Structure 1
Amino acid sequence: MFGVGFVVIAITAVTLSISFAALVYTGPLSVFLGQGINATLLGAAIMALVGSFFLSVRGSICNPQDVTAVLIGAAAAGIATTGNVPVEHLFPTVIGLIVTTGIFTGLVVFLAGAFKLSALVRYAPYPVIAGFLAATGYLLFMGALSIAARETVSISNLTMLFHSVAIIKWVPWVAGAIFLTFIERRQASELTVPTVLSLSVLAFFALLGICGYSLSDAMEMGLLLGPFDNTSFSLPYNSDFFAKIEWAAIASAAPTLIAVSGLTLLGALLNGTGIAMTLGAKFNSEQDMKATGLANVASATVAGLPGYVILGESILARRMGLRGQVPSLASAAGCLAALYFSADILAYMPAGLLVMAVAYLGFDLLATWLWESRNRLSRFEYGIVVLIVAIAATVGFLLALAVGMLAAIAIFIVSYANTEVILSRSTGATRRSRVERSEEESDYLSKVGSELVVLDLTGYLFFGTAHRLSEAVQSELSSERPIKYLILDFRRVPGIDTSATNSLAGMLETSEQAGVKLFFTGMSEDVEKQFALASPHNEGVKKIPNIDAALEIIEGDLLSEEPGGARVESARLMQLIERLEVEYHEDPGALERITLAPGEKLIRLGTISSECYFLLSGTLRAEIEDQSGNRVRVAEFQPCALVGEIAYYAEVPRTAWVIASTDSKVVRVDLKRMERAPTQTLIEFHKAAARSLARRVMRMTRLTSEL
């Protein structure tokens, strides 16, 4: 199996490399096909050898690729057909294009790996990638027809095939490609493609014999790849060769260089990931980017075509028993052997074999990305795929990619603008600060809480989403139930643009006219800076570090408006505490008044819960430790608030420290001690505490439903 696998990988590498060379050296360049094949084979061998040493997944084969060959072929065809390059300068100019593209691509990919920028390629829109691959399938099919016609074929001159190209040169081979595509997609196997191609070659030569044609007859009929005008190959780096290179023509193909480098990055990442997942190996994207870059630069020095890790051939090699560097060595050995014997063998290879191989690659891409993707993409996304293919067929490949990218961006903007920028809406009736207040104050805040509206925002704010936010704010300001306070929480907003900033300034002005106080909370440093730069005259805007601080301010304002004010002496719990002090005056340990100085601890984290506390005056705060070990305030207690009742009733250790923020007075209520001789007042105290807890839970439940 090892020997068979070695031979299969070698033949596959040779066949694909020659096919890709035929995509470039076609039409007016077909006279240079022999030299082009030799350059491609030598470059493929070098690429495979370099990749075998540096790729992270051993067994991966780095070879030229169809997508890059199509782009270079299109650029080469453009140079050859414009008429601006003299005939004697065509081959040096195309060689210069290939070398320049290979070196540029290699450097870009290598630097992407060195600076760990490879992940940026993953941001390419999926519909554009699908459209690109589908358009590549179309161009591969056109390339296959160009190989058969020995001149450039496009949709504009497609009818020429039926008039000036013998049917036998392309129809049977295209039909074979369709059959191969059908078989491969119905009964996928790593051996299907090489087996069908080999049988096709055998059938071709068998039919030649049956029909009584010799190899010379077949060559004269144009059924074989030869004859080649010049099959020798040497590195033509001399002053005469460089003098014939039309660098202006190469410069005009700059978009091709960019496209090839980007697609090499993307293809190397996708194929490398696929191979690693299939083989159960660890994939190092940075290492593979650098390896792919080095392989492309090395291959470019001999005018080899750009490429990257090839998925199918690498997986096939592993399943046929080839391990380590052997698959790459098999690929390199096959290409070098074909290069050495090219004058004697390659000229007699059926030209239709290349037509069939290239057409199969095209049909496979079209079936996957133009036909099957219609079930995976939305209507608009699939429209982008069809648009890219249509423009690539009628106008140009690179323009198709540009238009597809613009269409994808436009759809993204429209779709993102329709996403809900408001994550949740709540009111002061359920949304409270961390300040624990008396039962009477909590009831009053629930009563007037509708005067406060909180809008939690999410996502990036730009002109589309900012308009939706502006409409929502205007709806709140013109509501039948008037509000006095409006909070926009930016905690989940990573950034804003200038249009959004102007919209926020307009909201501020509108709210002031409506007599509503507008608060911006949770702005990140970047968002706040952008807002300040775009709206330097909005000094009056209330920007609060976090929503809790804003809620605390507004609650204070609302309570100050309570008729008669909040009187601590009238609180029901205060009255119960005073009655308990009278009833248990003979047991001084049951209730104890404690005075605390600022910073003094009342409750320690983790201690046993045997009592609760009632705050008479002053302010207390509850603190916990975050993951960094820093103390964080999680609650604040105002007079008439119960402290520590949750841990007591749950029978768990204390969950936080409670510390005095100001001079404070509390009553320690030892409930367990008093329960030895319970009174009716003690029962009422338990009920009042339970009612306070129940209301807090109900408020949190309503808030959860609102969020």
Structure 2
Amino acid sequence: MTKNQKTPLRGNAILASGMIGLVAGIDNLGNGLAIAALLFSGPLASGLGLGVGVVLLSAAILALLVGLRSTQPNTVALVQETGVAVLASTVAAMAADTPDAPDAVRVATALAILGTSTLVTGALFWLVGRLRLGTLVRFFPYPVVAGFLAGSGWLLVEGGLTMLTGEHAPLANLGSLANPPTLAKLAPAALLAALLVVVLRRNAPPFALPAVLVGAALAFHAALAVLGITPDQARAWEWLPTVSGAGAVSLPWPTEIVATADWSRVLAAAPAILSVAVLGLVGLLLNSSGIELANGHDIDANAELRVTGSANLIAGLFGGPSGFVGLGMTLLAGRLGAADRWAGIATAAVIGLGLFFAGWLVANTPVFLTAGLILFLGIELLLEWAVASRKRLPRGDWLIVLAVLVAIAVVGFIEGLALGLAVSLAMFVYTYARLPVIRSSTTGHALRSRVDRSPAAMHHLTEAGGAIEILQLQGYLFFGTAEQIVHHVRRRLSDAGAPPLRFLIVDFAHIKGMDSAAASGFTRIRNLTATAGVRLLLSGLPPKVAAALALTELDLESDPALARVIDIDHALEHCENGLLATAPLPPPDGALIRHLEEALGPHARLADAVAALDELRLMPETVLIQAGETASDVFIIGRGRVKVQTTRPDGQRLRLRTMTGGAVVGEIALLLGQRRIADVVVDEPSVIYRLTAATLARLEREDAELAFVFHRLLSTTLAEKLTRATLVIEQAHR
């Protein structure tokens, strides 16, 4: 039963592949004729047979090789008209500039330009895929890509009109379009393009495009029969193409192209060739992204680039145009049920079969039909990327699309490319320069170091903290964002309403990098602060940023006007020490009673409080508190300095706080009955007083007033620490 169920499913898959092959093959045949007619018209009309041959051969190679090796089994690859639109204007300009050259040379040169473009495109695809850089191309500015595609649509429209008028720039001479002979071809071509736009924008079935084209061709020949117009007369009126060799389609040998082409003209077309390669690279990745989104699974973009690059390299040897996966046809293959590689094989088979009939098709396909199809393709690109993109893009990005389109239409494709990239770069710099590079701006009043000092010292720092300005930076610094910092410093120095500035801390802990222009901006900041008598401290410098600053005139090691500090905490400690050095504070004589008066104010029992404490005289590196032990006492520093630290899993010690004379240590764990969470180690010779839990409990029973003094000291200390922690949290969320 299972076997019987698999057979019809397999048959359905083959039928679906045949259907998509027929649809895609006929579509390729129609597009191939139109593309060849676009490239080989006017002075190059004698090469139309060769043009049709190379275009269809290239389409067959792409469909077969990509279909066989793509990571998406039902991929259908197509010749892409956007690149052809760029090359058509280049080829037409070459033909117009070489009126005296033999037809064979001009045709071979056109094929050489086309083939070289495909070879360069294939090599670029393969190299980017080989280096696994496919995802990087997606950073190409989207408005510029949209502008290129809209510009390609304009070039296709212009190319379609060229096919009808025989003039290289028909829109420069609008009067030529009103000539009766031209109008007789233009009117049906325009009507056909409009009909295709209307039909294919109404969710038409897959066979709609081939049906309209075949119907238009049959209607044309039926009209000739009814009116009694012979094919020769229609050719004389340029309603049917005049093809040498009775419209025979042939394929050139690569050696013939190499030997006959004017390679100086091919070299002159290098800018257009490179732009086609880049546009193709972006187009392939955009289509792959669309297939990923529609199918719900990832596609290996780098593998697709290598496969498509190899196929283009082979197609380019025969002078054919470039191509890659077709988004619409591949999605259609999935909807029809074609889930294997037969979709691409069937498409290649239909195109290959069409080669045998291409000569007859070329000779009997009306000019208005191929021109109308080119006009339709161009109008579709314009509608999609110049009109519909307005709803998808912000106004600024959409204006870039229009600017690129206008530049391509008025000046040229390469100039439009340059303009789009320049405008996108300028807008990026402008937008990025407006992003706030200053993460926070505060003063020493709100942000303190992790040094707990005496109440008098803390009070002074609260009063004088405005003399310290702290700038915490973020992101990447370049010439646009660095100016924000210079402007902020200049404004702060000139602010007469703020306290006189003595220290400026610039913290780089959240900076990812810096360019040379931004580095030179800090030389200006150093000069501004030095002139104002302000000491500049640079904290948290990453190695790359420090190296960039070292290449400027800044001397990070010996300049008396600035200092390099390990982090913002040490920078704040440096500034606070500077403020306290000139503060009118009593000398730190180590008298504990003085510290208690500063914290609690005058009280009759302060001397009794000191007498109730144990005095400890400790040397550096003595462990006062050890992490993990049960809290049974609290310490008050009379004189000296201790550090609170923790040990990381890798064994490195991290300083959490530093405490000096007057600070209280360990009160939280004692009051809550918790274990110690950090080590406290003596940092310099110190006199420290200890209040044990047993002493405090005894005082609560025997001397409530004295116990109240200690509880008030502990609660005041906790309140101050909570206030400082709240300020830090508020500052972090600004």
State whether structure 2 residue 664 is matched by structure 1 residue 636.
no
Q: 1:348 to 1:276 in 2, by over 3 A?
A: same
Q: 1:575 to 1:490 in 2, by over 3 A?
A: closer
Deviation at 1:427, TM superposition (A): 0.3
Deviation at 1:553, TM superposition (A): 1.0
Q: 1:599 to 1:675 in 2, by over 3 A?
A: closer
State whether structure 2 residue 404 is matched by structure 1 residue 388.
yes
Give the aligned partner of residue 711 of structure 2: 683
Q: 1:70 to 1:645 in 2, by over 3 A?
A: farther
Give the aligned partner of residue 68 of structure 1: 83
Q: 1:456 to 1:344 in 2, by over 3 A?
A: same
State whether structure 2 residue 113 is matched by structure 1 residue 97.
yes
2:48 aligned to 24, 33, 40, which one? 33
Deviation by residue 1:538-559 (Cα, 9 ceiling, x = unmatched): 7513222322221121112122
Counterpart of 1:435, as a letter, is: V
Counterpart of 1:542, as a letter, is: A
2-structure distance, mates of 1:351, 1:656: 88
Secondary structure at the aligned position of 2:551 is classed as: helix
Deviation at 1:582, TM superposition (A): 6.7
On the 8 A contact 1:61/1:328 being kept in 2, the answer is yes
1-structure distance, mates of 2:176, 2:568: 72
Q: 1:129 to 1:630 in 2, by over 3 A?
A: farther
Deviation by residue 1:62-91 (Cα, 9 ceiling, x = unmatched): 222122111221221121111274433111
Q: 1:583 to 1:506 in 2, by over 3 A?
A: closer
2-structure distance, mates of 1:513, 1:10: 77
Deviation by residue 1:131-160 (Cα, 9 ceiling, x = unmatched): 212111111111222333455344213432
Give the aligned partner of residue 552 of structure 1: 573
**Structure 1 unaligned runs (5+)?**
none
1:696 aligned to 724, 729, 732, which one? 724
Q: 1:267 to 1:650 in 2, by over 3 A?
A: farther
Of stretches 571-580 and 90-99 in structure 1, the one that deviates more from structure 2 is: 571-580
Q: 1:493 to 1:22 in 2, by over 3 A?
A: farther
On the 8 A contact 1:615/1:638 being kept in 2, the answer is yes
On the 8 A contact 1:276/1:282 being kept in 2, the answer is yes
1:237 aligned to 241, 246, 254, which one? 254
Q: Which has the larger radius of gyration?
A: 2
| Count of residue pairs the alignment pairs up | 697
Counterpart of 1:603, as a letter, is: Q
On the 8 A contact 2:21/2:344 being kept in 1, the answer is no
Give the aligned partner of residue 508 of structure 2: 490
Structure 1 segment 404-423 matched on structure 2, within 5 A: 404-423=420-439
Deviation at 1:389, TM superposition (A): 1.8
Of stretches 245-254 and 126-135 in structure 1, the one that deviates more from structure 2 is: 126-135
Give the aligned partner of residue 5 of structure 2: none
Give the aligned partner of residue 12 of structure 2: none
Counterpart of 2:77, as a letter, is: C
1-structure distance, mates of 2:173, 2:694: 97
Deviation at 1:464, TM superposition (A): 3.7
Deviation at 1:340, TM superposition (A): 2.5
Q: 1:331 to 1:673 in 2, by over 3 A?
A: farther
1-structure distance, mates of 2:69, 2:671: 65
Identity score, percent: 28
Query: How high is the TM-score relative to the length of structure 2?
Result: 0.85
Deviation by residue 1:570-602 (Cα, 9 ceiling, x = unmatched): 22399899989978999x9xx896957527483
On the 8 A contact 1:602/1:660 being kept in 2, the answer is no
Secondary structure at the aligned position of 1:534 is classed as: coil
Counterpart of 1:697, as a letter, is: A
On the 8 A contact 1:231/1:343 being kept in 2, the answer is yes
Of stretches 136-145 and 496-505 in structure 1, the one that deviates more from structure 2 is: 496-505
Of stretches 592-601 and 694-703 in structure 1, the one that deviates more from structure 2 is: 592-601
2-structure distance, mates of 1:601, 1:48: 79
Q: 1:324 to 1:559 in 2, by over 3 A?
A: farther
1:466 aligned to 478, 482, 489, which one? 482
State whether structure 2 residue 574 is matched by structure 1 residue 561.
no
Q: 1:210 to 1:79 in 2, by over 3 A?
A: closer
On the 8 A contact 2:220/2:366 being kept in 1, the answer is no
1:167 aligned to 180, 183, 188, which one? 183
State whether structure 2 residue 280 is matched by structure 1 residue 274.
no
2-structure distance, mates of 1:318, 1:337: 24
Q: 1:340 to 1:603 in 2, by over 3 A?
A: farther
Structure 1 segment 223-622 matched on structure 2, within 5 A: 223-224=239-240, 227=243, 229=245, 231-238=248-255, 241-480=257-496, 481=498, 482-535=500-553, 539-540=558-559, 541-565=562-586, 567=588, 569=592, 570-572=594-596, 598=621, 600=623, 602-604=625-627, 613-615=635-637, 617-622=640-645
Deviation at 1:498, TM superposition (A): 4.2
2-structure distance, mates of 1:88, 1:242: 12
On the 8 A contact 1:596/1:665 being kept in 2, the answer is no
Q: 1:63 to 1:204 in 2, by over 3 A?
A: closer
Q: 1:548 to 1:686 in 2, by over 3 A?
A: closer
2-structure distance, mates of 1:232, 1:78: 25
On the 8 A contact 1:430/1:702 being kept in 2, the answer is no
Give the aligned partner of residue 202 of structure 1: 215
2:648 aligned to 625, 629, 635, which one? 625
Counterpart of 1:514, as a letter, is: A
Deviation at 1:318, TM superposition (A): 0.9
**Structure 2 unaligned runs (5+)?**
1-14, 701-706
Deviation at 1:54, TM superposition (A): 3.3
Counterpart of 1:490, as a letter, is: F
Q: 1:452 to 1:688 in 2, by over 3 A?
A: same
Deviation at 1:456, TM superposition (A): 2.2
Deviation by residue 1:350-392 (Cα, 9 ceiling, x = unmatched): 4433333322222222122222334454554433322222221
Q: 1:107 to 1:687 in 2, by over 3 A?
A: same
Deviation at 1:171, TM superposition (A): 2.3
On the 8 A contact 2:642/2:682 being kept in 1, the answer is yes
On the 8 A contact 1:614/1:668 being kept in 2, the answer is yes
Q: 1:579 to 1:80 in 2, by over 3 A?
A: farther
On the 8 A contact 1:113/1:287 being kept in 2, the answer is yes
Q: Considering only aligned residues, what root-mean-square deviation do their CA atoms show, in Å?
A: 3.5
Deviation at 1:294, TM superposition (A): 1.0
2-structure distance, mates of 1:597, 1:662: 5
Deviation by residue 1:649-668 (Cα, 9 ceiling, x = unmatched): 77876555555555666666
Q: 1:169 to 1:665 in 2, by over 3 A?
A: farther
2-structure distance, mates of 1:70, 1:267: 14
Give the aligned partner of residue 25 of structure 2: 10
Counterpart of 2:253, as a letter, is: P
Counterpart of 2:413, as a letter, is: F
Deviation by residue 1:468-500 (Cα, 9 ceiling, x = unmatched): 432221111122121101122233444444443
Deviation at 1:183, TM superposition (A): 5.0
On the 8 A contact 1:201/1:353 being kept in 2, the answer is no
Query: How high is the TM-score relative to the length of structure 1?
Result: 0.88
Deviation at 1:684, TM superposition (A): 1.7
2-structure distance, mates of 1:645, 1:147: 91
2:69 aligned to 51, 54, 62, which one? 54
Give the aligned partner of residue 9 of structure 2: none
